[in-house]
Structure 1
Amino acid sequence: MTDSSFHSTLIDWLRRHAWLRRLLIIAWHVAGTCVCYCLAFYIRFEGDLPAAAAGMMRRTLPILVLVNLSVFALVRLHSGMWAFFSMSDLARVLFAVVSATGIFALLIFVLLDFSFREYPRSVFVITLLLMVAWMAGARLVVRLIRERKGLSSRRESGRDRALIVGRLEDAEDVIKAWDEGNTGIRAVVTDETSAIGLTERGVPVTGPVSEIGRIARRLGADRVIILPPYTKPRQINQIMEDCSKAGAVCTFKMIPSMADVASGRVQHSGIRSVELEDLLGRPELSFNRQSVRDMISGKIVMVTGAGGSIGSELVRQIAHYGPKKLIMLDMSEFNLYSIDMELRKSAPGLALASMAGSVCDAGLLDRLFRRHPVQVLFHAAAYKHVPIMEDNVAVCVHNNVVGTARLADKAQECGVERFVLISSDKAVRPTSVMGATKRLAEEIVQNRRNNGPPCFVTVRFGNVLGSSGSVIPLFKEQIRRGGPVTVTSPNMTRFFMSIPEAVDLVLQAGVGGNNGDIMVLEMGETVRIADMARRLIELSGLRAGEDIEIAYTGIRPGEKEFEELMTEDENVVRTPYEKIWVIQKKPGEGVPPLDIESLSRLAETGDEFALRAELARLIPDATLGKGGRGA
C-alpha cells in the first residue's frame, strides 16, 4: 500500500468512526495544555525553574487541563474538520483559548486569596500565545497537507490547467473565492508588468495579456478564465485568436462582473462559459423603459406566436411592466403550455389567457376579441424557416399574409390602440417565399394606417441568436456529435442580435413608432457565418479543421449570401431613440394593390407555381426561384 492510499484509508476510517476522532482531538488538547503550560514556566524563568515555581506548576496544571477541556467542549473545537480550517475556525480557537485563560487566571486569583503574590503573572500570557500556536498550528498543518495533496493529484490528473486573465486585485478575489473549489489555477496573466515574475496567493503571475497564446501553450492550459476589463467583445476575440494562432486548445470562461465575486455571491460552479453573444460586439442600447411601462401598465395586451423565441421573450418582458391582462396565442400546444407554466410561476399575480390556435382562424379571432378587449397587440406569429417554406408556399402565404390581414382587420374593428408587426430583414428585396410573405405583411400594415386606429408599427431586424430554427443551435449540435459543421457558403454574412435586444426594440417601437412607420435597429457590422462556426468550435475547446471540420454545402433555395435591412430607395431617418432608425413609406408605394381574398383563395388551391408568380407580380424587386428543395 502506498503512502497516499494509506493516508486516504486512514482519513476515511477516522471519518467513519467519529467517536475515535473526537477522542484523538481531546487527547491532543490535553497534550497541548500540558506542553504549553510547562513550556511557559520554563520560558518565564529562562530554563532555570525554582522549586517553588515547579511546585506551583504541578499543583495548578490539572486545573488548567479541566478548564481548557470544558471551554473547548462548549465552543465545540473537537467538531471542526481540520483539513478545512478557515478564518472563522481560527476566530473560534482564539475565543476559546482567551476565554479559558481568563477563567483559569480568575480561579488562581481566588485560590491564592485574591492575589498573584506566589504566581508569575506573565505565565498567563505566554501560555495563551503557546496554546494559540499549538491549536491553530496543528490545524493549519493538516490543511496544508490536504491542499498540497490535492494540488499534486490535480496535476497528475491533468485538471490543474487554468489561466486567469485580469487585474491582480480581481484575480486575488477569484483565487480566494475558489480556494476550496479545486479550480487548478496555473497562472494569472495580467498587463501589470511590475508584478510579472511574482506570485499571488501562491499562483505565478505572468504576462502581458497579448502573449496569452504563447503562455497558454507553454503552461499546457486548457481553460482561460477572463475577468473584467478584458470581457469586452474585442478583447475576448483577441484572446481567442491569440490562443488559436499559438495552437493552445482551451475552453473560455468569464466573469462579467467582479462585484459578485467580491461579495461572495458567485461560486466556482457559477463561472459561465463565453457565449457567442459575448463576441459579437453589439452596441449597448439605452431604452426609455418608463415610456414602455406607460404603454403597457394597466392595459390588456395580446401577443401572437407567444410560444416562439421572440414571442416568449416578449411575454416575459411585458409581464414585468404590469399589464392588466396578457393574452397569449400560439399554434403549438407544447410551446404555449411551457410559457404559460413559466409565467404562472414567475408572475403569479398576472392575469393570463392562453389561447391555442392560428391567426388564420377568423372564428377564433372573433371569439377572442369579443371576450378580451385587446388594447395593445404584438404580432409575432409567422413561419420563418426559409428553406422549409420554399417547399410549403401555400401555408406560408396563408399564415404570414392572410393571417396578418385578418388579424389587422380585427384589430381595427375592435379598436386596438397599437398594433406592432414583427418583420424581418428578409423582406428587403426578397429572394425567398418567407421573405416575400413578410414584405406583403408589411404592406398590409402600411395600407391600413389611414383607416383610423390602431397605430400600426412594423419592426424589422436581422437574425436572432439562439432562436428556434436558427443556425447556432444547429452548429452546437453538430459540434457535440463530432462534426462536420455545415456552412452554406464561405462568404455568407448575416446581421445578428440577441433575443432580449430584439424584444427591447419591439417594445420601444411600440412606444416610439408613428402610424405606418417601419422601425429598424442599427445592427452594426455583418458577421461571416463561417467565422461564427469557427468561433463556436473554439469555444468548445476544439480546433476548426483539425478536431472538427467545416463543410461548405452551397446556398439553399431562397437564401441570400448577403442580407440588408433597407434599400437605398427607402426614406430612412433618425429617431429620438439611440441606434433606432425609421423608414417612412407611402401606403402601397411600389407595390400593386393587394387583394387578400383572391390571394387566400389561391393559397387554398395549393398551386405553388401560381402563388410564386403572384408573389413576384406583387413585389417587383423580388427574385424568387422556381421551387424548393423538393421541387
Structure 2
Amino acid sequence: MNVKKVVAVVLFISIAIFSIYVSYLLRFEFNIPDDFFNELVKHLPLIVFTKLLVFWYFNFFRGWWRFVSIYDALNIIRSSFISTFFIMVYLYLIYGFYKMPRSAFIIDLLLFTILIFILRVSPRLFKESYGKFLGEKVTKKRVLIVGAGSAGQMIAREIKDNDKLHAEVVGFVDDDERKIKTRILGIPVIGSTKEIPIIAKDDEIDEIVIAIPSASKEEMQRIVEKCREAAVGYKIIPGFGEILEGKLSVNRIRDVEIEDLLGRPPIKLKLAEIEQYLKDKVVLVTGAGGSIGGEIARQVSRYSPKNLIILDIAETPLFFIENYLKSSKNDLNLTTIIGDVKNIVKMEQLFKSYKPDIVIHAAAYKHVPMMELNPDEAIWNNIFGTKVIADLSCKYEVDKFILISTDKAVNPTNIMGATKRIAELYIKTFPDDLKTKFIIVRFGNVLGSNGSVIPIFKEQIKNGGPVTVTHPEVTRYFMTIPEAVQLVLQAGGIGKGGELFLLDMGEPVKILKLAEEMIRLSNFEPYKEIDIVFTGLRPGEKLYEELLLDEEGSTKTEYDKIWIAKQQPIDKDIVLNVINDLLEKSGSLNLSEIKDIMRRLIPTLK
C-alpha cells in the first residue's frame, strides 16, 4: 500500500470515530450516559471496520488524489447507506440495540457521508486554490480543445488533474450554438470551429486537440484546415474504433494521420451475431502475419474462441502478432504454426490435429508488379494454396470457410487479380448444401497495410521526397484495416453459404490528392518543399478498380456496408480444368502460355 493510500485510510478511520462520537453527543445533548458510552466504545472497532470494509469494496480508495466525479459522490452515498445498514442489522440481531440508540446511527449516516465527501474533494480544492502558489513556477502549454462533448470533457479533466502534463485548457470550441459562451467544467466555450485561427492567435494557443471521435470525413478535413490556418500544432484523440481497444486518456492523443481525413462513419455491428459463431470455436486464420490476417486474429481473440490458430510462412511477422495476442489477452488459447498453405501434408496434419470449426483464409500474394514477374508463385499460392485449405475444410467438415478476396479480382488485367478471381471461382464450385458453408468477402485497398501506398509515401516524405505517383488520374478505394476486418467478421456471421459479399468502400480516392494531403500533414508544401513525380502505370496496373463484374449486380443486406453480389452460374468442369492446366504449366515460367490458359476464364487479362 502506498503512502497516499495509508494517509487516506488513517483519515477515514479518524472521521469514522469522530462522526459516531459527535452523533452520540448530539443525540444525548452533549451528555452521554456512562453505560451508553461504554457500549459505544465496546462496539467501535466493529463500526469502523464495517465502514472501512464496505468503502474498500466499492473502490473508494482507488484514485484517491484524482478528480472527483458525480460517480464518486454517488459511491460515497451508496457505501454509507450499506455500511450503516449492516451495522444496524448486526446490532439488532445480536444485541437488540441494547444501550445503542438507533437515532444516533441515523445522525451518523448523514454526518459521516458529509465529512467523507469533504475529505474526498479537499485535495482537489486545495490544489486548485493554492497549488499555483506553491513550488516552482512551470510554464504551461496553452491548449484549445475542439469539441465540448464527453470526449473533450474527459481530456479537459485529465489535463486539469495531471500537473505532470504542464498544460492548461484555455477553452473549448464547438459548433453547437447552445454551448458557445457557456462554461463547461469551469472552462469557457469560446466560439465555433470556424474561429479557430482567430482564437489561437488571440489566446496565444500552443496546441490544439481535436476531440470529436464521431466527426465525418468532411468535418475532419475542414477542422484540420482551420488548424493549419492557425499555424500551431494540432493533435487528435482516437476514433471510436480505437477507443474500444483502450481507455480514452491524454496518453492516447496522437498526431493527425491521413486515415483520419479519409474516415467514415462508425460501423454498427451486431456483436452477438459475430460472437455466436466464434465463441468457444476453434478458429484458423491463414496469413496471420499479414496486415489483414493479423487484424483478423486480433479481433477474433476478443470473442473468446476455444483455440485461435494463427498460420503464416513468414516467422518474423507471425512472432510479432503472437506476442501481441499473448500480452493483450492472458486467457487466450493460442496456437502458432509456421507453415505453407501449399504444403498438403502439413495442412492435413493441422486439420486432423486441431479440427478447426472456422477457417478464415487470408494468405495470398498481393503485390501486382511483383506477381507479374513471378506468375508461377501467384498461381501456386493464390490458387493452389486456396484449393488446399478449401478442400481440407470440406473434408474435415468445418462450419464456415471465409475467403478474403480483393477488388483486383474484378475484370482483372494482371496476374495477381486473375489468380484471386480464379480462387473465387474455385470456391464457387462447392455445392451450397455441404456442411461446410463457403463464403467469399471482397473489398478494396486497406489503409496502411504492409507495402501499400501510404507507408511508401510516408517513407518518401521522411527522406525529403520526391513522392512517386504512377498517374495523375489513378484512383483507389480505401478502408481502414480494423473497419475491413469488422465487416469481414460480420459477413461471416450472416453468411449461410455460397455468398460473395462486397464491402462498401465509399468513394474512390485520387492517389495524387492522397499524396498532397500526406505532404501537408507532414508540415511541408507539395511541389515546393516536397515534389511529386509521375512514374507511369506499372505492369498490370489499372487506373481504377471495380468491386463488381458487369454481369454481377448486387443486393443490399441488413447492414449498410455489406452487399451480396448477384452471381452468374459457373461451369465447374471448365474451372477445374483451367486450374489443373495452370498448376501443370506454371513451372514452365512461360508467361504467355500461362496467360492463354487464364483467359479461358479471365478474358480481360492482358
TM-score by length of 2: 0.70
**Which residue is 1:457 aligned to?**
439
**Inter-partner Cα distance in structure 1 for 2:67 and 2:487:** 49
**Which residue is 2:375 aligned to?**
393
**Which residue is 2:338 aligned to?**
356
User: Structure 1: which amino acid aligns with 2:220?
Assistant: I
Match of 1:371 among 328, 353, 365: 353
**Inter-partner Cα distance in structure 1 for 2:381 and 2:214:** 46
**Which residue is 1:183 aligned to?**
167
1:327–1:355 Cα contact (<8 Å) kept? yes
**Inter-partner Cα distance in structure 2 for 1:582 and 1:193:** 42
1:161–1:185 Cα contact (<8 Å) kept? yes
In the alignment, is residue 435 of structure 1 matched against residue 417 of structure 2? yes
| Long gaps (5+) in structure 2 | 1-64, 69-124
**Which residue is 1:237 aligned to?**
221
**Which residue is 1:309 aligned to?**
291
**Inter-partner Cα distance in structure 2 for 1:282 and 1:612:** 38
User: Structure 2: which amino acid aligns with 1:312?
Assistant: G
**Inter-partner Cα distance in structure 2 for 1:138 and 1:517:** 62
**Which residue is 2:148 aligned to?**
167
In the alignment, is residue 597 of structure 1 matched against residue 584 of structure 2? no
**Inter-partner Cα distance in structure 1 for 2:465 and 2:167:** 30
User: Structure 2: which amino acid aligns with 1:210?
Assistant: K
**Inter-partner Cα distance in structure 2 for 1:196 and 1:204:** 8
**Inter-partner Cα distance in structure 2 for 1:562 and 1:182:** 49
SS at match of 2:356: coil
Equivalent runs, 1:495-574 vs 2, <5 Å: 495-574=477-556
**For residues 417-451 of structure 1, what are the alpha-carbon distances to aligned partners after superposition, in whole Å with 9 as ceiling and x for unaligned?**
21110000111111221111111110000012357
SS at match of 2:403: strand
From the superposition, tell whether residues 318 and 229 of structure 1 become closer, same or farther in structure 2 (CA, over 3 Å): closer
In the alignment, is residue 618 of structure 1 matched against residue 601 of structure 2? yes
**Which residue is 1:75 aligned to?**
none
SS at match of 1:617: coil
2:429–2:572 Cα contact (<8 Å) kept? no
**Inter-partner Cα distance in structure 2 for 1:506 and 1:345:** 24
**Which residue is 1:321 aligned to?**
303
SS at match of 1:277: helix
| Long gaps (5+) in structure 1 | 1-84, 89-135, 155-159, 625-631
From the superposition, tell whether residues 600 and 279 of structure 1 become closer, same or farther in structure 2 (CA, over 3 Å): same
**Which residue is 1:248 aligned to?**
231
**Inter-partner Cα distance in structure 1 for 2:573 and 2:467:** 40
Q: Offset of 1:217 from its aligned partner?
A: 6.3
SS at match of 1:350: coil
User: Structure 2: which amino acid aligns with 1:300?
Assistant: V
Match of 1:478 among 454, 460, 464: 460
From the superposition, tell whether residues 243 and 605 of structure 1 become closer, same or farther in structure 2 (CA, over 3 Å): same
**Inter-partner Cα distance in structure 2 for 1:413 and 1:87:** 59
In the alignment, is residue 150 of structure 1 matched against residue 138 of structure 2? yes
SS at match of 2:167: coil
Q: Offset of 1:364 from its aligned partner?
A: 1.5
Q: Offset of 1:457 from its aligned partner?
A: 0.6
**For residues 459-508 of structure 1, what are the alpha-carbon distances to aligned partners after superposition, in whole Å with 9 as ceiling and x for unaligned?**
00111112111112222222222322222223222211122221122222
1:220–1:248 Cα contact (<8 Å) kept? no
**Inter-partner Cα distance in structure 1 for 2:299 and 2:180:** 47
1:304–1:380 Cα contact (<8 Å) kept? yes
- What value does the CA root-mean-square deviation take over the aligned residues? 3.6
Larger Rg: 1
SS at match of 2:441: strand
From the superposition, tell whether residues 176 and 232 of structure 1 become closer, same or farther in structure 2 (CA, over 3 Å): farther
SS at match of 2:388: helix
1:464–1:502 Cα contact (<8 Å) kept? yes
From the superposition, tell whether residues 239 and 367 of structure 1 become closer, same or farther in structure 2 (CA, over 3 Å): same
TM-score by length of 1: 0.67
SS at match of 1:371: helix
**Inter-partner Cα distance in structure 2 for 1:545 and 1:178:** 42
Match of 2:394 among 412, 420, 438: 412
Percent identical pairs in the alignment equals 40
**Inter-partner Cα distance in structure 1 for 2:202 and 2:181:** 15
**Inter-partner Cα distance in structure 2 for 1:356 and 1:452:** 29
Query: Across the two proteins, how many residue pairs are aligned to each other?
Result: 477
**Which residue is 1:583 aligned to?**
565
**Which residue is 2:59 aligned to?**
none
Match of 2:262 among 280, 303, 306: 280
From the superposition, tell whether residues 164 and 575 of structure 1 become closer, same or farther in structure 2 (CA, over 3 Å): closer
From the superposition, tell whether residues 358 and 201 of structure 1 become closer, same or farther in structure 2 (CA, over 3 Å): closer
User: Structure 2: which amino acid aligns with 1:227?
Assistant: A
**For residues 573-627 of structure 1, what are the alpha-carbon distances to aligned partners after superposition, in whole Å with 9 as ceiling and x for unaligned?**
122333211113244269943422221111122222221232233202x242xxx
1:401–1:440 Cα contact (<8 Å) kept? yes
2:213–2:237 Cα contact (<8 Å) kept? no
From the superposition, tell whether residues 383 and 139 of structure 1 become closer, same or farther in structure 2 (CA, over 3 Å): closer
2:285–2:297 Cα contact (<8 Å) kept? yes
From the superposition, tell whether residues 543 and 145 of structure 1 become closer, same or farther in structure 2 (CA, over 3 Å): farther
1:232–1:278 Cα contact (<8 Å) kept? no
